[in-house]
Structure 1
Amino acid sequence: MPNTYTQIYIQVVFATKGRDIKIKSEVREEVEKYICGIFSNKKQKVLAIYANPDHIHIFFSYKSLQITIPELIKTVKIESTNFINDKKLCFGKFSWQEGYGAFSYAKSQKDKVVSYILNQEKHHSKKSFREEYMEMLNAFEIEFKNEYLFDFYYELR
Protein backbone atom coordinates (compact mmCIF):
# COMPACT_ATOMS: atom_id res chain seq x y z
CA MET A 1 0.00 0.00 0.00
CA PRO A 2 1.55 3.29 -1.01
CA ASN A 3 1.76 5.98 1.64
CA THR A 4 1.11 3.54 4.48
CA TYR A 5 3.67 3.71 7.26
CA THR A 6 3.72 1.90 10.57
CA GLN A 7 6.09 1.54 13.51
CA ILE A 8 4.70 -0.74 16.17
CA TYR A 9 6.82 -2.42 18.85
CA ILE A 10 5.53 -5.74 20.16
CA GLN A 11 6.88 -8.17 22.74
CA VAL A 12 5.51 -11.70 22.52
CA VAL A 13 5.95 -14.32 25.21
CA PHE A 14 5.05 -17.98 24.96
CA ALA A 15 5.99 -21.18 26.74
CA THR A 16 7.06 -24.70 25.89
CA LYS A 17 4.29 -27.30 26.15
CA GLY A 18 3.76 -28.19 29.79
CA ARG A 19 6.46 -25.66 30.62
CA ASP A 20 8.96 -28.47 30.13
CA ILE A 21 12.60 -27.45 30.25
CA LYS A 22 13.39 -28.13 26.61
CA ILE A 23 15.62 -25.35 25.30
CA LYS A 24 19.06 -26.14 26.70
CA SER A 25 21.74 -23.44 26.74
CA GLU A 26 23.81 -25.24 24.10
CA VAL A 27 21.00 -24.95 21.49
CA ARG A 28 19.49 -21.61 22.58
CA GLU A 29 21.33 -19.47 20.02
CA GLU A 30 20.52 -21.84 17.16
CA VAL A 31 16.81 -21.72 18.06
CA GLU A 32 16.91 -17.92 18.38
CA LYS A 33 18.64 -17.49 15.00
CA TYR A 34 16.12 -19.75 13.30
CA ILE A 35 13.19 -17.84 14.79
CA CYS A 36 14.78 -14.53 13.74
CA GLY A 37 14.93 -15.94 10.20
CA ILE A 38 11.20 -16.70 10.30
CA PHE A 39 10.47 -13.12 11.33
CA SER A 40 12.76 -11.79 8.62
CA ASN A 41 11.06 -13.93 5.97
CA LYS A 42 7.75 -12.41 7.09
CA LYS A 43 9.17 -8.88 6.72
CA GLN A 44 9.43 -8.26 10.47
CA LYS A 45 12.52 -7.16 12.40
CA VAL A 46 13.48 -8.82 15.68
CA LEU A 47 15.01 -6.31 18.08
CA ALA A 48 15.68 -8.77 20.92
CA ILE A 49 15.07 -12.46 21.55
CA TYR A 50 15.83 -14.78 24.42
CA ALA A 51 14.87 -18.44 24.57
CA ASN A 52 14.68 -19.48 28.22
CA PRO A 53 14.61 -23.21 28.94
CA ASP A 54 10.79 -23.17 29.21
CA HIS A 55 9.61 -19.95 27.50
CA ILE A 56 10.67 -17.32 25.01
CA HIS A 57 10.56 -13.52 24.73
CA ILE A 58 10.63 -11.90 21.30
CA PHE A 59 10.60 -8.12 20.85
CA PHE A 60 10.04 -7.04 17.28
CA SER A 61 9.16 -4.13 15.09
CA TYR A 62 5.84 -4.90 13.43
CA LYS A 63 6.07 -3.06 10.13
CA SER A 64 4.14 -5.01 7.55
CA LEU A 65 0.43 -5.22 7.96
CA GLN A 66 0.36 -8.00 5.35
CA ILE A 67 0.35 -10.58 8.16
CA THR A 68 -1.57 -10.40 11.42
CA ILE A 69 0.15 -10.98 14.73
CA PRO A 70 -1.80 -14.23 15.35
CA GLU A 71 -0.78 -15.53 11.90
CA LEU A 72 2.83 -14.55 12.53
CA ILE A 73 3.03 -16.23 15.93
CA LYS A 74 1.30 -19.36 14.60
CA THR A 75 3.88 -19.55 11.80
CA VAL A 76 6.76 -19.00 14.23
CA LYS A 77 5.51 -21.74 16.55
CA ILE A 78 4.88 -24.28 13.78
CA GLU A 79 8.12 -23.67 11.87
CA SER A 80 10.34 -23.51 14.97
CA THR A 81 8.73 -26.67 16.39
CA ASN A 82 9.45 -28.51 13.14
CA PHE A 83 13.03 -27.18 13.09
CA ILE A 84 13.73 -28.21 16.70
CA ASN A 85 12.25 -31.67 16.17
CA ASP A 86 13.88 -32.26 12.75
CA LYS A 87 17.30 -31.24 14.09
CA LYS A 88 16.70 -33.17 17.35
CA LEU A 89 17.76 -30.14 19.38
CA CYS A 90 16.04 -31.37 22.53
CA PHE A 91 15.33 -34.64 24.27
CA GLY A 92 11.96 -36.07 23.26
CA LYS A 93 9.28 -34.35 21.25
CA PHE A 94 9.24 -30.56 21.34
CA SER A 95 6.23 -28.26 21.02
CA TRP A 96 5.06 -24.88 22.20
CA GLN A 97 2.10 -24.46 24.52
CA GLU A 98 -1.09 -22.95 23.10
CA GLY A 99 -1.50 -19.22 23.40
CA TYR A 100 0.85 -16.30 23.88
CA GLY A 101 1.04 -12.85 25.39
CA ALA A 102 1.56 -9.84 23.12
CA PHE A 103 2.40 -6.47 24.59
CA SER A 104 2.89 -3.16 22.76
CA TYR A 105 5.48 -0.53 23.65
CA ALA A 106 6.27 3.06 22.72
CA LYS A 107 9.47 3.88 20.86
CA SER A 108 10.75 5.58 24.03
CA GLN A 109 10.58 2.19 25.81
CA LYS A 110 12.50 0.29 23.13
CA ASP A 111 15.95 0.27 24.76
CA LYS A 112 14.54 -0.73 28.14
CA VAL A 113 12.62 -3.69 26.65
CA VAL A 114 15.65 -4.83 24.64
CA SER A 115 17.78 -4.76 27.79
CA TYR A 116 15.11 -6.59 29.77
CA ILE A 117 14.91 -9.41 27.22
CA LEU A 118 18.66 -9.77 26.74
CA ASN A 119 19.09 -10.05 30.52
CA GLN A 120 16.55 -12.83 31.02
CA GLU A 121 18.99 -15.22 32.67
CA LYS A 122 19.82 -12.69 35.39
CA HIS A 123 16.18 -11.64 35.68
CA HIS A 124 14.96 -15.20 36.24
CA SER A 125 17.49 -15.80 38.99
CA LYS A 126 15.28 -13.48 41.06
CA LYS A 127 11.80 -13.94 39.62
CA SER A 128 9.88 -16.93 38.28
CA PHE A 129 8.26 -16.95 34.85
CA ARG A 130 4.84 -17.04 36.50
CA GLU A 131 5.65 -13.93 38.56
CA GLU A 132 7.05 -12.20 35.48
CA TYR A 133 4.07 -13.06 33.29
CA MET A 134 1.51 -12.07 35.93
CA GLU A 135 3.28 -8.73 36.37
CA MET A 136 3.10 -8.12 32.62
CA LEU A 137 -0.61 -8.95 32.47
CA ASN A 138 -1.32 -6.68 35.42
CA ALA A 139 0.89 -3.82 34.18
CA PHE A 140 -0.95 -3.85 30.86
CA GLU A 141 -4.31 -4.16 32.68
CA ILE A 142 -5.20 -7.33 30.79
CA GLU A 143 -8.13 -9.23 32.23
CA PHE A 144 -7.47 -12.96 32.38
CA LYS A 145 -8.76 -16.18 33.82
CA ASN A 146 -6.33 -18.44 35.64
CA GLU A 147 -7.56 -21.50 33.77
CA TYR A 148 -6.45 -19.95 30.48
CA LEU A 149 -2.93 -19.03 31.57
CA PHE A 150 0.10 -21.08 30.63
CA ASP A 151 0.47 -24.32 32.54
CA PHE A 152 2.59 -23.36 35.54
CA TYR A 153 3.44 -26.82 36.88
CA TYR A 154 6.70 -25.75 38.49
CA GLU A 155 8.92 -22.72 38.63
CA LEU A 156 12.58 -22.22 37.81
CA ARG A 157 14.56 -20.56 40.57
Structure 2
Amino acid sequence: MANTYTQIHIHLIFAVKFRKALINSTWKERLHQYFTGMIQKNNHKMLQINSMPDHIHMLIGLRPEQALSALVQNIKSETSKWINENNFCEGKFQWQDGFGAFSYAKSQLPNVIRYIINQEEHHRKKTFLEEYKSFLKAFEVDWEEKYIFEDLK
Protein backbone atom coordinates (compact mmCIF):
# COMPACT_ATOMS: atom_id res chain seq x y z
CA MET A 1 0.00 0.00 0.00
CA ALA A 2 1.61 3.21 -1.16
CA ASN A 3 1.86 6.02 1.36
CA THR A 4 1.08 3.70 4.29
CA TYR A 5 3.45 4.05 7.21
CA THR A 6 3.11 1.95 10.33
CA GLN A 7 5.01 0.91 13.41
CA ILE A 8 3.13 -1.97 15.00
CA HIS A 9 4.91 -4.09 17.63
CA ILE A 10 2.99 -7.09 18.93
CA HIS A 11 3.92 -9.50 21.73
CA LEU A 12 2.25 -12.83 20.90
CA ILE A 13 1.74 -15.52 23.52
CA PHE A 14 0.12 -18.90 23.05
CA ALA A 15 0.20 -22.30 24.67
CA VAL A 16 0.57 -25.92 23.73
CA LYS A 17 -2.81 -27.70 23.76
CA PHE A 18 -3.86 -28.39 27.37
CA ARG A 19 -0.67 -26.54 28.43
CA LYS A 20 1.28 -29.79 28.10
CA ALA A 21 5.05 -29.47 28.42
CA LEU A 22 5.86 -30.75 24.92
CA ILE A 23 8.38 -28.22 23.59
CA ASN A 24 11.65 -30.00 24.23
CA SER A 25 14.99 -28.22 24.61
CA THR A 26 16.50 -30.59 22.03
CA TRP A 27 14.42 -29.05 19.21
CA LYS A 28 13.13 -25.73 20.52
CA GLU A 29 15.81 -23.68 18.69
CA ARG A 30 14.75 -25.32 15.42
CA LEU A 31 11.15 -24.41 16.27
CA HIS A 32 12.18 -20.80 16.88
CA GLN A 33 13.95 -20.75 13.51
CA TYR A 34 10.89 -22.22 11.81
CA PHE A 35 8.61 -19.59 13.40
CA THR A 36 11.05 -16.85 12.38
CA GLY A 37 11.02 -18.09 8.79
CA MET A 38 7.24 -18.15 8.75
CA ILE A 39 7.00 -14.62 10.15
CA GLN A 40 9.46 -13.40 7.51
CA LYS A 41 7.68 -15.32 4.74
CA ASN A 42 4.55 -13.36 5.66
CA ASN A 43 6.52 -10.08 5.37
CA HIS A 44 6.63 -9.35 9.09
CA LYS A 45 9.71 -9.06 11.29
CA MET A 46 10.66 -11.31 14.20
CA LEU A 47 12.16 -9.13 16.93
CA GLN A 48 12.47 -11.78 19.67
CA ILE A 49 11.29 -15.32 20.33
CA ASN A 50 11.58 -17.73 23.24
CA SER A 51 9.60 -20.65 24.54
CA MET A 52 9.05 -22.71 27.60
CA PRO A 53 7.96 -26.36 27.42
CA ASP A 54 4.26 -25.37 27.46
CA HIS A 55 4.10 -21.98 25.67
CA ILE A 56 5.80 -19.51 23.36
CA HIS A 57 6.46 -15.76 23.31
CA MET A 58 7.18 -13.76 20.16
CA LEU A 59 7.69 -10.06 19.62
CA ILE A 60 7.03 -9.15 16.01
CA GLY A 61 6.93 -6.09 13.83
CA LEU A 62 3.55 -6.49 12.13
CA ARG A 63 2.81 -5.22 8.63
CA PRO A 64 -0.79 -4.06 8.13
CA GLU A 65 -1.37 -6.09 4.95
CA GLN A 66 -2.30 -9.21 6.93
CA ALA A 67 -4.75 -9.56 9.79
CA LEU A 68 -3.08 -10.66 13.01
CA SER A 69 -5.57 -13.51 13.52
CA ALA A 70 -4.83 -14.84 10.00
CA LEU A 71 -1.08 -14.72 10.68
CA VAL A 72 -1.40 -16.54 14.00
CA GLN A 73 -3.71 -19.17 12.53
CA ASN A 74 -1.21 -19.75 9.72
CA ILE A 75 1.91 -20.00 11.89
CA LYS A 76 0.24 -22.24 14.47
CA SER A 77 -1.09 -24.56 11.78
CA GLU A 78 2.20 -24.76 9.90
CA THR A 79 4.36 -25.28 13.00
CA SER A 80 2.03 -28.00 14.33
CA LYS A 81 2.30 -29.76 10.99
CA TRP A 82 6.11 -29.37 10.99
CA ILE A 83 6.46 -30.69 14.56
CA ASN A 84 4.28 -33.70 13.75
CA GLU A 85 6.05 -34.45 10.44
CA ASN A 86 9.39 -34.45 12.27
CA ASN A 87 8.05 -36.68 15.07
CA PHE A 88 9.38 -34.36 17.76
CA CYS A 89 6.62 -35.44 20.16
CA GLU A 90 5.01 -38.68 21.09
CA GLY A 91 1.44 -38.43 19.87
CA LYS A 92 -0.09 -35.49 18.02
CA PHE A 93 1.20 -31.97 18.75
CA GLN A 94 -1.33 -29.13 18.76
CA TRP A 95 -1.41 -25.52 19.90
CA GLN A 96 -4.18 -24.35 22.21
CA ASP A 97 -6.98 -22.42 20.51
CA GLY A 98 -6.63 -18.66 20.75
CA PHE A 99 -3.71 -16.43 21.63
CA GLY A 100 -2.72 -13.31 23.50
CA ALA A 101 -1.54 -10.26 21.58
CA PHE A 102 -0.27 -7.15 23.32
CA SER A 103 0.96 -3.99 21.61
CA TYR A 104 3.95 -1.90 22.61
CA ALA A 105 5.52 1.41 21.67
CA LYS A 106 9.01 1.38 20.19
CA SER A 107 10.43 2.83 23.42
CA GLN A 108 9.17 -0.24 25.33
CA LEU A 109 10.81 -2.83 23.07
CA PRO A 110 14.08 -3.27 25.00
CA ASN A 111 12.10 -4.23 28.14
CA VAL A 112 9.84 -6.60 26.21
CA ILE A 113 12.82 -8.23 24.50
CA ARG A 114 14.56 -8.67 27.87
CA TYR A 115 11.36 -10.15 29.32
CA ILE A 116 11.08 -12.69 26.50
CA ILE A 117 14.77 -13.64 26.71
CA ASN A 118 14.46 -14.23 30.47
CA GLN A 119 11.49 -16.61 30.37
CA GLU A 120 13.25 -19.33 32.36
CA GLU A 121 13.93 -16.88 35.17
CA HIS A 122 10.32 -15.60 35.24
CA HIS A 123 8.93 -19.10 35.44
CA ARG A 124 10.93 -19.99 38.50
CA LYS A 125 8.59 -17.60 40.33
CA LYS A 126 5.37 -17.69 38.33
CA THR A 127 3.42 -20.33 36.39
CA PHE A 128 2.44 -19.72 32.79
CA LEU A 129 -1.20 -19.31 33.80
CA GLU A 130 -0.25 -16.69 36.41
CA GLU A 131 1.91 -14.92 33.84
CA TYR A 132 -0.85 -14.91 31.22
CA LYS A 133 -3.45 -13.59 33.64
CA SER A 134 -1.06 -10.83 34.71
CA PHE A 135 -0.81 -9.71 31.06
CA LEU A 136 -4.59 -9.69 30.71
CA LYS A 137 -4.92 -7.61 33.88
CA ALA A 138 -2.09 -5.21 33.02
CA PHE A 139 -3.55 -4.54 29.56
CA GLU A 140 -7.10 -4.30 31.00
CA VAL A 141 -8.43 -7.05 28.75
CA ASP A 142 -11.93 -8.29 29.58
CA TRP A 143 -11.70 -12.04 30.06
CA GLU A 144 -13.48 -14.94 31.66
CA GLU A 145 -11.66 -17.72 33.48
CA LYS A 146 -13.51 -20.48 31.63
CA TYR A 147 -12.27 -19.21 28.25
CA ILE A 148 -8.58 -18.69 29.00
CA PHE A 149 -7.36 -22.22 28.29
CA GLU A 150 -8.92 -25.57 27.62
CA ASP A 151 -8.01 -28.10 30.30
CA LEU A 152 -7.44 -31.77 29.70
CA LYS A 153 -10.75 -33.52 30.35
Could you state the TM-score of these two structures normalised by the residue count of structure 2?
0.96
Are the aligned partners of 1:7 and 1:61 in contact in 2 as well (CA < 8 Å)?
yes
How far apart in 2 are the matches of 1:151 and 1:118? 27
- Give the match's secondary structure for 1:10: strand
- Aligned partner of 1:41 in structure 2 is 41
Distance apart, 1:151 and its partner CA? 3.4
Identity of aligned residues (%): 43
CA-to-partner distance for each residue in 1:46-104, whole Å, 9 max, x for gaps? 11111210011011011x22210000000010000000000111222100010001000
Are the aligned partners of 1:31 and 1:51 in contact in 2 as well (CA < 8 Å)?
no
- Aligned partner of 2:120 in structure 1 is 121
How far apart in 1 are the matches of 2:113 and 2:25? 20
- Aligned partner of 1:51 in structure 2 is 51
Runs of 4+ aligned residues of structure 1 deviating over 2 Å after TM superposition are none
Distance apart, 1:150 and its partner CA? 1.4
- Aligned partner of 2:89 in structure 1 is 90
Letter in 1 for 2:123: H
How far apart in 2 are the matches of 1:126 and 1:39? 30
- Give the match's secondary structure for 1:142: coil
- Give the match's secondary structure for 2:72: helix
Are the aligned partners of 1:130 and 1:152 in contact in 2 as well (CA < 8 Å)?
no
- Aligned partner of 2:137 in structure 1 is 138
- Aligned partner of 1:25 in structure 2 is 25
Structure 2 stretches of 5 or more lacking a match? Answer: none
- Give the match's secondary structure for 2:22: coil
- Aligned partner of 1:151 in structure 2 is 150
Residue 5 in 1 paired to residue 5 in 2? yes
